[in-house]
């Protein structure tokens, strides 16, 4: 076992899988020679050659559109969008083809491909480099949306995504790309897509989050614990199809629900989970199921960033509000 | 390879003129038996097309995009391919589907409004109808990359319309094909209109074929109503692609004799006069004149053939009409290899509702 | 007053406003000579000339991207996407520029433009011609999303959209383009964007819907009334910014909530409204706030369409379920 | 108009060579005083650029995209425009902003991470920094349409990079500009790289300028490090556009001497050797040699000037450092003319939280 950062775990997953499967092709802007602007694909071209890992022209629709063709023809493209904010030129290919080829052909064609990109804010970046787009993809029938929160999860989930028979949007929380190291097995392993992870057991409140936001959520849980408030923390891991059962079981136990996510609040992931909780645990609710999400504003440039990001204290305060409801 | 027909010099490849006579620099590419076979295929496509339109008029079929007048671009091109070559169509290539051997039943079932029609299996190596304009051209480039990667000697033919050349995706496809130097042919059926919008409103360029050169790709304009020109251009481009020569952009200069779709009224944007002019350039007409002159066929054979085709198509369409509609399961179960809980839940709730309704 | 269809009302709104404001430019695919595939822009080119109403090349990103430039330079472009399913090539321009120019320039530049398109299913159309995309736009900070349900509303709301200082996504329910006629004033008039319309007053249950779906919702309300169940029906009219107050006031009165929409359920509009109801009316709830939305599947081709569309009976049944909870 | 410099024949417009000597077919376009002024503007841009990089190194500034080596493409082009002409930049045009007269303070404030920096008012007729590659070229075409519609005699200049030419939007912009025949100049700064990706990986075409012809648009490649070539090309294209001649695509053949951004390490993808070669072609160097030979300036003047510029820039940056950060209101209130309830609600909840925190 090596202690890897989330970024290294992503790189490791690609290395391991590419050595297992000759059909995996990795490409995108700057992913070849440079190994990606974050170095997520570093070393892949040296290891597997220019044909399997290379720099594409600067065109996201072209990248995803050609990946669709490769997947149809039996390859397994794993393409990179350089940043979350640059997936939009490919949106038409994703919504009208990636998500639909299987149904359109009634199962004749499937698209085992992965679209991965660094995701989310908090790195004091330029405009379009801090976006949270998961709700847009989760709302689109035919896609799977996965967001890891630890190095271990990143490797296991990315390998699952690559082996998945259906297309997966794989969003990598860039804010924690390098922040923590974790022991990660050297060999290939998978984690189930569609399964949430109960990270902390508690009875006072159920908090669901995912990605980089898990950091503050767990800090908040620890702070609350010091005041003898034990909250249950669930890492969603997969945004669609999300793990309704695990959430509902927890809410039935705690009677209180809080979902925390960085992406915009309105029409966001929190709304969906609150609706699900209403559908399946209404009678267990002792307080309004609550969302603490990003503001519905354009992600601010660095000088305003601190106002947008959801701090540990805000989570603590919101949790107490719900518990003392 | 097509130097002799540089579109930038206003040249267009044509081997047989509107009267079924070979042009000076032309000549037979296919022998008379092959031409007879091609003629039958075009005639079959024409009959099927006209019947589809009439079914729609009778209210038995939904929106249908006629290809009348464009047959040569499809029959000629697919005949020039190997069975292992890929076809990436848009939505007006029924003649290409038929020439590849896909049962007409499938296309009619699809047009009838049932996705099951696109479930034709992988062996035909043809992708489902693609409606988002020009988006499919990128898929073709990706398949071409895969063919080279897997060292298959298959190439890819994709279709796009004149209107489609205005889309970013079309230009990205040309560019990726060029940089990757992959075995793909991008075939523009320039039928002069994008619904009501005439070709000259799409781009200021004189031809669509010349678009290719700015991407380092070879482009050629051909008479898309001359099946031999189509066959030769595609054959040469395919051989080039197979031998590592990379992509080719072909502009088939043709005309949509029918409406854009059965819900379109062409009189709003073009004159009968213009249509009449193009009827004289009908790809089937000129081949017929040639074959008759060669005594390979008679008017009488043709009408017999036509009747025969009508019967066949009608039988097929009746099968379509008696096909089963999709069940609730059908509209759910093909989105993922395994249906996620959220979909099962929605499906079950709906089925329960239907039960109670009974 | 003339009795107009919703389609004619749209056409009328464009005619009236274009005569009032020389800066309004209308273009898109087939909108000029042909007057649009549905004829929404019929006659505009004859009336106002080729410079103000014309056919553009077939490229949605180009259409919206150039509209941004026109708006910056003081014009008021009202562009058409030919169908809901063909807005995606323009998604990058909409999300990264249309929604952001004002904030990016801290108010120096604004984009008074309208992107209108026929929207929704139920017309037995080809693939991509029956989409409900409102949640995607409503989730995107910086946009307004308007959906009329009657000819009168269509004219008033479209004129408001054109006069609005900010960009408006205007989705026209094509299923009811020609189904009903309604008296519509000849002159220009506006209806407030952001304001919902209480179409029917009741106390048993609050039903919120919008667009073509209002038809079945009102039919359901009538059926329920025959059984002496009086439901309150609210036409949302604006999806963002939505009229929270009107919804909450109603739910506080009825204690029960149902939102009905054609678009996919998960991560959809219903989820947002249920979250809002939880936030502001939790203690008034006598039954779980409920959503009846479209399935999270690709909109089926005509032969399967009937399974997707939400019928009057399904609404009635769901309403009774909630009321007898 | 640029027939003499058809990129398809491998021609490139250059008036002054790397040694500050006029090329055979070249000659002075700007007189020596104008050249001196241009020199000062380039030098100022160079100084500001280098200082921005050093501020970043000192941790006082965030990610910054250096333009070192590309100054002539921007100073020369903007000098050739009228003040009423529009500029639609991407993200590496600080020299264009400065030449238009926008206070450096604004750009540094923006780079410092404050949107307020882009609040420069409308009179400069320059759009905010646009980061989604090539998307801004379409905005330029739209503005050009508006200028013609309003019968203003203003034209539009937009910038895009070599990598940007691969985007669908760039090609759609060329196409719309061509069909609409609007007064716009699309200026490609071909600095040979898109981050780490060399020009030859973007497209198979020999030049980027020749892309234009396939859209019925004129294209020309120029030495982007020769400010007189830039000035002349833009001037001619602008005159043409103003007189209804339509769009022009200009490829400025240049080089990014610095990193892509301050977070980029160029040694990963290019050799110092290559960079050294290009340093000899520095646009400022050659103009300096010329002006010294003409006794318009001395090395001493230049170092004095440089010191002076440094002082100015430093004063400005200190102002930036002492600027106020955006308030919560600031990040909310510019999304709509009137803040919708949902935003007010989020803002108020956040402000209440901040209050209680106190
Ligand atoms: C992205 C997209 N935008 C708009 C449409 C609507 N539409 C369907 S066919 C068509 C015209 C296509 O013209 P062309 O490419 O010349 O092909 P043709 O119909 O002439 O065969 C349009 C605009 C679409 N299908 N996809
Ligand atoms: C749509 C989009 N995709 C990716 C990026 C990330 N990115 C920023 S700059 C850049 C390279 C641009 O190269 P080029 O167009 O040559 O301009 P240059 O940086 O050389 O000035 C990339 C890929 C982006 N900004 N926008
Ligand atoms: Mg056409
Ligand atoms: Mg570059």
Distance CA C85, CA B39 (A): 38
For residues C96 and A88, give the distance between their C-alpha atoms in angstroms, rounded to a whole number.
Answer: 8
Q: What is the dihedral of CA D145, D149, D151, D152, to 10 degrees?
A: -40
CA-CA-CA-CA torsion sign (C180, C183, C189, C192): negative
Q: A188-209 in b/e burial notation, b at 16+ Cβ within 10 A? A: bebbebbbbbbbbebebbbbbb
Beta carbons of A297 and D327 less than 8 angstroms apart: no
Cα(C217)–Cα(C223) distance, integer angstroms: 10
Using alpha carbons, select from A77, D201, A36 the residue that is nearest to residue B149: A77
Phi, psi for residue C77 in degrees, rounded to 5: -70, 135
- pLDDT one digit per residue (tens) for chain A, 325 residues: 899 999 999 999 999 999 999 999 999 999 999 999 999 999 999 999 999 999 999 999 999 999 999 999 999 999 999 999 999 999 999 999 999 999 999 999 999 999 999 999 999 999 999 999 999 999 999 999 999 999 999 999 999 999 999 999 999 999 999 999 999 999 999 999 999 999 999 999 999 999 999 999 999 999 999 999 999 999 999 999 999 999 999 999 999 999 999 999 999 999 999 999 999 999 999 999 999 999 999 999 999 999 999 999 999 999 999 999 9
pLDDT in tens, C239-284: 999 999 999 999 999 999 999 999 999 999 999 999 999 999 999 9
Q: Is A141 on the interface with B (CB under 8 A)?
A: yes
Name the more confident of D27 and D67: D67
Residue A259 pairs in a beta bridge with: A208, A291
What is the average pLDDT value for chain D, to the nearest integer? 97
pLDDT digits (tens, 9 = 90+) for D151-204: 999 999 999 999 999 999 999 999 999 999 999 999 999 999 999 999 999 999
Phi, psi at residue D234, to the nearest 5°? -65, -40
**Dihedral, D67, D129, D79, D7 alpha carbons, nearest 10:** 70
Q: Which residues make Cβ contacts (< 8 Å) with residue B283, sequence separation at least 6?
A: B42, B69, B70, B71, B72, B224, B225, B226, B227, B254
User: Given CB atoms, is C286 within the 8 Å cutoff of chain A?
Assistant: no
| pLDDT surpassing 70 at residue B358 | no
What are the respective helix, strand and coil percentages of chain B, to the nearest 5?
Answer: 50, 10, 40
pLDDT tens digits, residue range C155-188? 999 999 999 999 999 999 999 999 999 999 999 9
CA angle D60, D64, D65 (to 5 degrees): 160
**Is C312 within 8 Å of chain D by CB?**
no
Protein residue closest via CA to atom 7 of ligand 2 = D133
Closest CA relative to residue B181, chosen from B248, B246, B250:
B246
| Selection from C169, C262, C254 nearest residue C209 by Cα | C262
User: Would you state the pLDDT for residue D116?
Assistant: 98
**8-state DSSP, A213:** G
Rounded CA-CA distance A180/A7 in Å is 10
> Judged by CB atoms within 8 Å, which residues 128-157 of D form the interface with A?
129, 131-133
Among C55, C62, C86, which is best to mutate for testing ligand 1, by the most ligand atoms less than 8 A from CB?
A: C86
| The two three-digit tokens of residue D49, written as one number | 């650029």
Question: Is B335 part of the annotated catalytic residue set?
Answer: no
For residue A29, give the ligand 2 atom closest to its CA.
23
Cis peptide before B50 (omega within 30 of 0): no
Residue A45 phi/psi, 5-degree rounding, is -65, -45
pLDDT band of C22, cuts 50, 70, 90: very high
C301 to chain A nearest CA, in Å?
10
Give how far Cα C225 sits from Cα of A78, A201, C316, C320, D90, Å: 56, 48, 11, 12, 60
Do D63 and A128 make contact, defined as CB atoms within 8 angstroms?
Answer: no
What b/e sequence results for D205-227 when a residue is b if at least 16 CB atoms lie within 10 Å of its CB, and e otherwise?
bebbbbbbbbbbbbbbbbbbbbb
| C-beta separation of B13 from B223 below 8 A | yes
**Residue C192's closest CA among C151, C233, C146?**
C146
**Number of Cβ atoms within 10 Å of the Cβ of D150:** 13
Cβ contacts below 8 Å, chain A against chain D, sum to 110
Confidence of residue D26 (pLDDT cuts 50, 70, 90): confident
What is the pLDDT, as a whole number, of residue D6? 95
Count of H helices and E strands in chain C?
12, 14
φ/ψ of residue A119, rounded to 5: -140, 145
Reported ipTM: the value is: 0.98
Supply the mean pLDDT for chain B.
97
Chains that touch A (3 or more CB pairs under 8 A): B, C, D
CA of B331 to the centre of ligand 2 (A): 41
Beta strands in chain D (DSSP E): 86-88, 156-161, 184-190, 193-194, 197-198, 218-223, 248-253
Cβ pair D112, D322 in contact under 8 A = no
Q: Which of A129, A139, A261, A307 is catalytic?
A: A129
**Cis, peptide link before residue A241, omega less than 30° from 0:** yes
CB contact under 8 A, B166 and C298: no
Q: Which residue from D91, D167, D350 is facing A59, i.e. has the nearest CB?
A: D167
Please give the order of strands across the beta sheet that includes B248-253: B86-88, B156-161, B184-190, B248-253, B218-223
**CB–CB contact C138 A266 (8 Å):** yes
Q: What is the tens place of the pLDDT at every residue in C68-101?
A: 999 999 999 999 999 999 999 999 999 999 999 9
Any idea what DSSP says for residue D233?
A: H
- Token readout for B107 is 């296309």
Handedness of CA B169, B175, B179, B181 (dihedral sign): positive
3-state secondary structure of B309: helix
A98-A102-A108 Cα angle (round to 5): 135
CB of D188 sitting under 6 A from ligand 2 = no
Residue nearest to atom 20 of ligand 1 (CA): B194
- Rounded Cα–Cα distance for residues C152 and C9 (Å): 7
Is the pLDDT at D357 greater than 80? The verdict is: no
Asked if D201 reaches chain B (Cβ–Cβ under 8 Å), the answer is yes
Strands A144-146 and A238-240: antiparallel
- Which residues of D are less than 8 Å from C68 in CB distance? 138-139, 142
Instruction: Indicate the helix (H) or strand (E) that contains B46.
Output: helix B32-57
If you measure from the C-alpha of residue B277 to the centroid of ligand 4, how many angstroms do you get, rounded to a whole number?
49
Q: Which residue out of B90, B102, B122, B139 would a mutagenesis test of the A interface target, given it has the greatest number of A Cβ atoms within 10 Å?
A: B139
Whose tokens are 């988006």? That residue is B135
Distances (CA, A) of A217 to A220, A269, D211, D357: 5, 16, 52, 18
Distance D260 CA to ligand 2 centre (A): 9
pLDDT tens track for B76-100: 999 999 999 999 999 999 999 999 9
Judge contact between B127 and B137, C-beta under 8 A: no
- Give the total residue count for chain D: 358
For the CA atoms of C273, C278, C283, C285, the dihedral, rounded to the nearest 10 degrees, stands at 50
Minimal C-alpha gap between B134 and chain D (Å): 11
Whether the pLDDT of residue C141 is over 90: the answer is: yes
CA distances to A197, B36, B53, B101, C160 from B312, rounded to whole Å, are: 59, 19, 16, 15, 56
CB contact under 8 A, C104 and D115: yes
The set of protein residues with a Cβ atom below 6 angstroms from ligand 1 is B 92, 131-133, 161-164, 191, 193-195, 256, 260; C 29, 58, 60, 82, 86, 89
pLDDT at C1 over 90: no
Is the CB of B204 inside 8 Å of chain D's CB atoms? Answer: yes
What pLDDT digit, counting tens, does each position of D238-279 carry? 999 999 999 999 999 999 999 999 999 999 999 999 999 999
Q: What is the enclosing helix (H) or strand (E) of B160?
A: strand B156-161
Q: What is the DSSP letter of D128?
A: P
Q: Give me the pLDDT at residue B5, please.
A: 94
CA pair distance B16, B90, nearest whole angstrom:
27
Judging contacts by C-beta atoms under 8 Å, the chain A residues touching residue C141 are 264, 295-298
Distance A281 CA to ligand 3 centre (A): 55
Per-residue tokens: C92:
């990058």
CA of D89 to the centre of ligand 2 (A): 13
Q: Report yes or no: C113 and C67 within 8 Å, Cβ to Cβ.
A: yes
State the alpha helices, DSSP H only, in B32-161: 32-57, 71-79, 94-100, 104-111, 135-149
Confidence grade of residue D19 (pLDDT, cut at 50, 70, 90): very high
Instruction: Classify the C-alpha dihedral D75-D81-D82-D88 as positive or negative.
Output: negative
Average pLDDT value for residue range C217-245: 98
Cα torsion at C27, C31, C32, C33 (round to 10°)? 170
Question: Checking DSSP bridges between strand D197-198 and strand A2-5, what pairing results, if any?
Answer: unpaired
Query: With a threshold of 0.95, does the pTM exceed it?
Result: yes
Q: Which of D115, D268, D328 sits opposite A301 (nearest CB)?
A: D115
């Amino acid at each position: 076992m090596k202690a890897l950062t989330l970024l290294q775990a992503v790189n490791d997953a690609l290395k391991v899988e590419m050595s297992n499967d000759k059909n995996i092709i990795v490409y995108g802007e700057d992913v070849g020679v440079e190994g990606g602007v974050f170095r997520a694909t570093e070393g892949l071209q040296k290891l597997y050659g220019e044909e399997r890992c290379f720099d594409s022209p600067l065109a996201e629709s072209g990248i995803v559109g050609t990946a669709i063709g490769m997947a149809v023809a039996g390859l397994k493209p794993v393409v990179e969008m350089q940043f979350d904010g640059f997936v939009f030129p490919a949106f038409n290919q994703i919504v009208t083809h990636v998500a639909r080829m299987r149904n359109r052909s009634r199962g004749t064609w499937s698209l085992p491909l992965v679209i991965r990109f660094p995701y989310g804010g908090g790195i004091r970046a330029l405009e379009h480099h801090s976006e949270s787009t998961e709700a847009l993809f989760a709302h689109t029938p035919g896609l799977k949306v996965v967001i890891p929160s630890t190095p271990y999860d990143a490797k296991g989930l990315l390998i699952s995504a690559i082996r998945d028979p259906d297309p997966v949007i794989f969003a990598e929380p860039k804010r924690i790309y390098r922040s923590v190291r974790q022991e990660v097995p050297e060999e290939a392993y998978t984690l189930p897509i569609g399964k949430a992870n109960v990270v902390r057991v508690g009875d006072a409140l159920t908090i669901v989050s995912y990605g980089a936001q898990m950091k503050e959520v767990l800090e908040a849980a620890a702070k609350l614990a010091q005041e003898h408030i034990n909250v249950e923390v669930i890492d969603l891991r997969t945004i669609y199809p999300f793990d309704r059962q695990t959430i509902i079981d927890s809410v039935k136990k705690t009677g209180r629900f809080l979902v925390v996510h960085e992406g915009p609040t309105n029409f966001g992931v929190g709304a969906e989970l609150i609706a699900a909780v209403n559908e399946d645990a209404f009678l267990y609710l002792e307080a309004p199921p609550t969302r603490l999400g990003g503001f519905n504003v354009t992600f601010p440039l660095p000088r305003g960033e601190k106002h947008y990001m959801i701090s540990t204290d805000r989570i603590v305060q919101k949790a107490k509000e719900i518990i003392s409801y | 390879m097509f130097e002799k027909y540089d579109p930038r010099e206003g040249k267009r490849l044509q081997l047989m003129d509107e009267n079924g006579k070979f042009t000076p620099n032309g000549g037979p590419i296919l022998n008379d038996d092959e031409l007879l076979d091609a003629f039958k295929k075009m005639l079959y496509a024409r009959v099927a097309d006209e019947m589809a339109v009439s079914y729609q008029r009778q209210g038995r079929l939904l929106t249908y995009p006629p290809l009348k007048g464009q047959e040569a671009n499809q029959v000629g091109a697919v005949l020039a391919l190997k069975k292992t070559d890929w076809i990436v169509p848009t939505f007006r290539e029924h003649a290409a589907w038929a020439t590849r051997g896909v049962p007409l039943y499938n296309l009619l079932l699809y047009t009838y409004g049932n996705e099951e029609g696109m479930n034709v299996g992988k062996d035909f190596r043809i992708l489902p109808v693609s409606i988002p304009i020009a988006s499919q051209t990128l898929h073709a480039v990706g398949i071409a990359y895969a063919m080279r990667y897997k060292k298959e000697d298959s190439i890819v033919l994709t279709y796009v319309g004149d209107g489609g050349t205005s889309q970013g995706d079309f230009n990205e496809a040309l560019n990726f094909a060029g940089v990757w130097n992959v075995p793909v042919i991008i075939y523009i059926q320039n039928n002069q209109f994008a619904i009501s919008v005439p070709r000259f409103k799409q781009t200021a360029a004189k031809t669509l074929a010349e678009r290719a050169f700015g991407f380092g790709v070879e482009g050629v304009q051909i008479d898309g109503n001359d099946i031999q020109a189509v066959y030769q251009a595609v054959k040469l481009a395919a051989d080039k692609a197979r031998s590592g020569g990379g992509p080719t952009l072909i502009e088939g200069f043709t005309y949509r004799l029918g409406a854009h779709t059965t819900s379109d009224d062409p009189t709003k944007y073009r004159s009968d006069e213009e249509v009449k002019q193009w009827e004289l350039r009908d790809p089937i007409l000129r081949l017929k004149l040639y074959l008759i002159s060669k005594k390979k066929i008679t008017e009488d054979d043709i009408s017999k053939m036509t009747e025969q085709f009508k019967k066949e198509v009608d039988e097929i369409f009746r099968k379509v009409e008696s096909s089963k509609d999709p069940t609730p399961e059908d509209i759910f179960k093909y989105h993922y290899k395994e249906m996620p809980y959220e979909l099962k839940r929605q499906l079950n709730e709906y089925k329960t509702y239907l039960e109670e309704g009974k």
